[in-house]
């Protein structure tokens, strides 16, 4: 998200590469990363609270699983809805994962700096 904020492509099929010739600074990574982590953690907690208040057990799919196997994830959703998994046949995701080694490095450093498992 930080990289996309810095150079604007939000999808892997974005026309043209990210035109930055250098990575955003460590300060940008740290300040944006921490602020966004806190915001999204609060959103996640609010959804968890809402589901609990409603007595709903949400069906969860991790981003890593979705990006690694979008069709497998779609089949799991269809199955959970009681629909035929064959409905996923022939579906081609229109986008792909944008993250690369730089994103992985940032994520690892962020987790280490903030003691996040």
| Per-residue confidence band for 19, with pLDDT thresholds at 50, 70 and 90 | very low
User: pTM of the prediction?
Assistant: 0.61
Owning domain of residue 42? 2-113
Taking alpha carbons only, the member of 102, 106, 99 closest to residue 10 is: 99
Ranges 8-22, 49-63, 79-93, most confident: 49-63
Tens of pLDDT along 99-115?
788 878 888 888 888 88
Specify the number of domains making up the chain: 1
Taking alpha carbons only, the member of 6, 39, 43, 1 closest to residue 21 is: 6
Is the pLDDT score of 21 beyond 50?
no
Q: How far apart are CA 23 and CA 3, in angstroms?
A: 8
What pLDDT does residue 11 have?
56
Quote the tokens at residue 21: 């010739």
């Amino acid at each position: 998200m930080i990289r996309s904020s810095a150079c604007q492509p939000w999808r892997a099929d974005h026309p043209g590469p990210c035109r930055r010739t250098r990575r955003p600074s460590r300060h940008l990574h740290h300040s944006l990363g921490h602020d966004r982590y806190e915001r999204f953690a609060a959103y996640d907690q609010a959804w968890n609270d809402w589901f609990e208040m409603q007595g709903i057990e949400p069906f969860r799919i991790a981003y890593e699983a979705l990006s690694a196997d979008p069709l497998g994830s779609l089949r799991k959703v269809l199955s959970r809805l009681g629909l035929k998994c064959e409905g996923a046949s022939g579906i081609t995701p229109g986008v792909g994962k944008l993250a690369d080694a730089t994103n992985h490095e940032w994520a690892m450093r962020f987790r280490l700096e903030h003691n996040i498992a």
